[in-house]
């Protein structure tokens, strides 16, 4: 029975619970049993709050039966990436420096899911402070790709993606600053979506690159993603960068129709460095959409290779500032032996942060420092403007841009961290989407010869999630079953 329950998508489970065929506690026990079985191998979670979840599932079930809880995810167990505040539950950002941090409030997106009836299972593993592409910079151990445990799940939302793939939850929330939802979704064969910047409140998301961060869903299919986004999207007066979105009824766009949809494929995405199997799978997916009536065409996007240095300059700069607050005074790790204030700062931070985080903080401090601000930071902001312009021009011609999510499938564990720049190059297709604030979605479209999943990326114009969801849904319907690990 338990294993059968795990087959349901989040929406299917919600329907079953509503119909009284499954109870919230039953669904939770199925997930907890799966976690019991698989966690030691996959290590998707930093914290599993079994006790809290059980209490909540019971409470939710009572409310459902009383008719007082009718939310779209009533009773459905969810996993939350460990960089989103969850009141009363340890939130670490997979860092030692927050190893004992218990937030006193929950992130807005988490609150909305809870209002919709979701049951919080626990917090998923990630790259430390969301800086990384493999979840290997976590201070709490690596997460393994459920499709092949010798490989990474991707990052930084690797724990969330793996948990969805391994049925250790029914859906999850992740965050995406340079591809951190879409890339792990691609590596783990699940659907992952980053909404337009400002669509989902960042209040309660522990900031990495403030002008780039967005929270988004990782789910088993496009329908679940649309439904989750519908719940978590919306203006929040506590987030100044949050936008009033007119129509958040994204599930209305789960329509199987792309007739006349203009799809552009950037030639620059298909150059050197792209794995031929990935290339084939993605181009095949394009054909599927063409067969369904879309007009598919190649074009030159330009500036593609500049997106990475542009992104890293901006993200590192913002991160270096956002992470200054971790000083051992108000919360988090404080070193044991110190003499004086500045030594306390230095030791706490040096002991509490991992290598990649320190690397980016130093780079960020440098590019903002006196004498270099114009040459590096301002220059990057100008390039960002150019990249946005290039996308604006593309979307004047096309409704959706199609391409790969990553140049390869999931690399092996332990192979990526030796050469940071090589690792950064893996972000080439996802990064510019964050720079331009656009929405993007990753849908599984194939597997390589090792059986590792390949993701198809669809990029929409700002605030055009509806078009994006329709295209993704249509593709998914035509593709058929993808399978699980």
Task: Measure the CA–CA gap between 456 and 406, rounded to whole angstroms.
Answer: 9
Closest to 257 in 3D by CA, of 11, 480, 467: 467
Task: Measure the CA–CA gap between 95 and 51, rounded to whole angstroms.
Answer: 24
Between residues 291 and 341, which has the closer beta carbon with respect to another protein?
341
CB 139 within 8 A of CB 95: yes
Between residues 186 and 432, which has the closer beta carbon with respect to another protein?
432
- Residue 324 Cβ, how far from another protein at the closest point, in Å? 4
Distances (CA, A) of 319 to 95, 323, 440: 14, 6, 23
Task: Measure the CA–CA gap between 402 and 394, rounded to whole angstroms.
Answer: 12
Between residues 258 and 316, which has the closer beta carbon with respect to another protein?
316
SS3 127: coil
Q: DSSP states of 337-357 as a string?
A: S--SHHHHHHHHHHHHS-HHH
Give the rounded distance of the alpha carbon of 291 from its chain centre.
30
- Residue 253 Cβ, how far from another protein at the closest point, in Å? 22
Task: Measure the CA–CA gap between 81 and 85, rounded to whole angstroms.
Answer: 9
Residues 6+ apart with CB under 8 A from 457: 182, 186, 402, 403, 404, 405, 429, 430, 440, 441, 442
Query: Which helix (H) or strand (E) is 62 found in, with range?
Result: helix 50-66
Between residues 167 and 327, which has the closer beta carbon with respect to another protein?
327
Between residues 346 and 447, which has the closer beta carbon with respect to another protein?
346
Q: Is 50 exposed, middle or buried (0-12, 13-18, 19+ CB in 10 A)?
A: middle
Q: Is 442 one of the catalytic residues?
A: no
Q: Is 81 one of the catalytic residues?
A: yes
Pairing verdict, β 453-460 and 440-447: antiparallel
Which of 133, 138, 156, 201 is catalytic? The answer is 156
- Residue 32 Cβ, how far from another protein at the closest point, in Å? 27
Task: Measure the CA–CA gap between 435 and 162, rounded to whole angstroms.
Answer: 26
Closest to 124 in 3D by CA, of 223, 39, 37: 39
- Residue 423 Cβ, how far from another protein at the closest point, in Å? 12
Query: Which helix (H) or strand (E) is 189 found in, with range?
Result: none
Between residues 12 and 327, which has the closer beta carbon with respect to another protein?
327
- Residue 346 Cβ, how far from another protein at the closest point, in Å? 4
Query: Sign of the CA dihedral 182, 184, 188, 194?
Result: negative
Between residues 42 and 312, which has the closer beta carbon with respect to another protein?
312
- Strands annotated E in 252-386: 262-266, 295-299
Q: Is 58 one of the catalytic residues?
A: no
- Residue 146 Cβ, how far from another protein at the closest point, in Å? 29
| Phi–psi pair at 258, nearest 5 degrees | -125, 20
- Residue 114 Cβ, how far from another protein at the closest point, in Å? 16
Distances (CA, A) of 447 to 7, 138, 429, 451, 484: 20, 27, 19, 5, 11
Which of 16, 81, 347, 384 is catalytic? The answer is 81
Between residues 139 and 282, which has the closer beta carbon with respect to another protein?
139
- Residue 343 Cβ, how far from another protein at the closest point, in Å? 8
Write out the catalytic residue numbers.
81, 156, 180
């Amino acid at each position: 029975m338990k294993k059968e329950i795990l087959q349901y998508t989040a929406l299917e489970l919600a329907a079953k619970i509503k119909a009284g065929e499954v109870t919230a506690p039953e669904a939770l026990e199925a997930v907890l049993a799966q976690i019991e079985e698989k966690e030691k191998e996959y290590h998707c979670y930093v914290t599993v709050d079994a006790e809290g979840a059980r209490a909540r599932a019971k409470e939710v079930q009572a409310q459902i039966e009383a008719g007082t809880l009718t939310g779209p995810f009533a009773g459905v167990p969810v996993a939350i990436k460990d960089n989103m505040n969850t009141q009363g539950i340890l939130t670490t950002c997979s860092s030692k420096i927050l190893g004992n941090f218990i937030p006193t409030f929950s992130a807005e997106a988490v609150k909305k899911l809870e209002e919709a009836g979701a049951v919080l299972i626990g917090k998923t593993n990630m790259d430390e402070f969301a800086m990384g592409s493999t979840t290997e910079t976590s201070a709490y151990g690596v997460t393994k790709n459920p499709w092949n445990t010798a490989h990474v799940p991707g990052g930084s939302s690797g724990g969330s993606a793996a948990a969805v793939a391994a049925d250790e939850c029914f859906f999850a929330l992740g965050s995406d600053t340079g591809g951190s939802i879409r890339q792990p979704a691609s590596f783990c064969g699940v659907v992952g979506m980053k909404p337009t910047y400002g669509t989902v409140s960042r209040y309660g998301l522990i900031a990495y690159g403030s002008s780039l961060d967005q929270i988004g869903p990782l789910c088993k299919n496009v329908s679940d993603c649309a439904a989750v986004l519908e719940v978590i999207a919306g203006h929040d007066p506590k987030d100044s960068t949050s936008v009033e979105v007119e129509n958040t009824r994204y599930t209305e766009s789960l329509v199987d129709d792309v007739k006349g949809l203009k799809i552009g494929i950037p030639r620059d995405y298909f150059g050197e460095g792209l794995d031929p199997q990935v290339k084939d799978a993605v181009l095949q997916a394009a054909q599927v959409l063409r067969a369904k009536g879309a007009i598919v065409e190649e074009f030159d996007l330009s500036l593609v290779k500049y997106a990475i240095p542009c992104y890293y300059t901006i993200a590192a700069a913002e991160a270096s500032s956002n992470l200054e607050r971790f000083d051992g005074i108000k919360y988090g790790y404080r070193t044991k032996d110190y003499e004086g204030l500045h030594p306390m700062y230095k030791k706490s931070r040096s002991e509490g942060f991992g290598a990649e985080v320190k690397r980016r903080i130093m780079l960020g401090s440098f590019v903002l420092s006196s004498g270099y601000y114009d040459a590096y930071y301002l220059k990057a902001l100008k390039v960002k403007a150019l990249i946005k312009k290039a996308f604006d021009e593309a979307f004047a011609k096309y409704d959706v841009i199609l391409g790969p999510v990553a140049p390869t499938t999931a690399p092996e564990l332990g192979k990526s961290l030796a050469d940071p720049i090589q690792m950064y190059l893996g972000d080439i297709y996802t990064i510019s989407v964050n720079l331009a604030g656009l929405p993007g979605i990753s849908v599984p479209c194939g597997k390589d010869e090792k059986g590792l999943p390949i993701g198809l990326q669809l990029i929409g114009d700002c605030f055009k999630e509806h078009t994006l969801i329709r295209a993704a849904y249509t593709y998914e319907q035509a593709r058929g079953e993808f399978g699980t690990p």
